[in-house]
Amino acid sequence: MKGIQGIQGEAGPSATGTRGAPGAPGVPGSPGSPGTPGSSIQLNPYIVAFHSQTNEYPSCMEGMTELWKGYSFMFIDAGADSKFNQQLGDAGSCMENFFPGFYGMCDGMECKAGNEDHKTVWLATAMFGAEGPTRKLTMKRRETELKNHISRCVVCDTIFKLQTVHSYTSKVPECPDRYVPVVSPNRYISAQNALHLQDPNLWIGFSFWEVSVDNYAIGIQTEQPASCLLYYDPLLMASCDVEGCRLESDSSHAFWIQDTARIAKEKADNNGVLKNDMPPFHNTKEYVSRCVVCRRPEAGQFRFD
């Protein structure tokens, strides 16, 4: 038969074993979840403004980032001693809000709002009649009514540059080698406003030079896209003061690059000698140079946010 269990003996001396060999590699883990989008920094972007010449906002191009939208501002005339302009291609020409007299003049501790002698000049919406562009001498006073006659704009951030080409003829020029035409900033506007565009999808326009009001002029650099306006309108500005805006006045003028070959031909007499004077011409659109805005083909592949 089995006897009773004996008492537990004393503990033996302690000992340490050797480390075992490394185990085999484990199986690969499952893929992790996607990370958050990285941020990119463009240290020297091009900031450009596009103007629709309508009361609808234009659009940035593929590869550009929209910064803001607004109203197309040209310059301030605060009297003989103070005039300031904005290039139509620069961001400062796109004011986020429209107000005819948005500035004040300060002297010492006192500031005064603009008076009837001070003007702000804006790019107006193109106006078309049955036979083409038309203007009337008129004064608009209500702000909501004024806005219908002020062009809209958009400011865009881009890493590629645009190049404008002028033909100095009534024919649309071609882009240089290794360049292609860009899409129109007005490609998404209503059919009614797109009716007078030669091609609603491409930036093809008319060669604009400068405007002047009361002997003060603002010009546009001809390599800038702003010098290729989508619509031809003989007088394209709205001159505003504290009382309202006038779409045309005797002291306002617009300057366009002309079809030089046609002008030279019509100014020459039967012997080919240029005459000193040339009678005014009325089918003015036919005498204006055409233009196109271009870019490198690979430019549309870049984008940063």
Q: Does some domain include residue 15?
A: no
φ, ψ for residue 85 (rounded to 5)?
-125, 165
Q: Report the alpha-carbon distance of residue 94 to residue 156 in Å, rounded.
A: 11
Task: Read off the pLDDT band of 305 (50, 70, 90).
Answer: very low
Q: What is the pLDDT of residue 248?
A: 64
Q: Does some domain include residue 10?
A: no
Q: What is the mean pLDDT of the chain?
A: 80
Question: pTM of the prediction?
Answer: 0.76
Is residue 57 a contact partner of residue 49, using CB atoms and an 8 Å limit?
no
Cα–Cα nearest to 279, from 267, 265, 268, 262: 267
Q: Does some domain include residue 23?
A: no
For residue 74, the SS3 value is: strand
Cα–Cα nearest to 223, from 189, 273, 179: 179
φ, ψ for residue 73 (rounded to 5)?
-100, 140
Q: Report the alpha-carbon distance of residue 236 to residue 100 in Å, rounded.
A: 16
Q: Report the alpha-carbon distance of residue 147 to residue 181 in Å, rounded.
A: 31
Q: Does some domain include residue 24?
A: no
**pLDDT tens profile 94-139:** 999 988 776 777 777 787 766 666 778 889 898 765 444 445 546 6
**pLDDT tens profile 165-220:** 999 999 999 999 999 999 999 999 988 788 778 888 999 999 998 887 776 777 78
Residues 6+ apart with CB under 8 A from 274: 264, 267, 268
**pLDDT tens profile 68-94:** 999 999 888 776 666 777 888 899 999
Per the listing, tokens 């404008």 go with 164
How many domains does the chain divide into? 1
Domain enclosing residue 202, as ranges: 46-100+111-277+286-301
Q: Does some domain include residue 94?
A: yes
Q: Does some domain include residue 20?
A: no
Average pLDDT over residues 51-76: 93
Q: Does some domain include residue 21?
A: no
Q: What is the pLDDT of residue 240?
A: 82
Q: What is the pLDDT of residue 117?
A: 67
Q: Does some domain include residue 262?
A: yes
131: CATH: 2.170.240.10
**pLDDT tens profile 178-192:** 999 999 999 999 887
CA separation (Å) from 30 to 25, 33, 176?
15, 10, 53
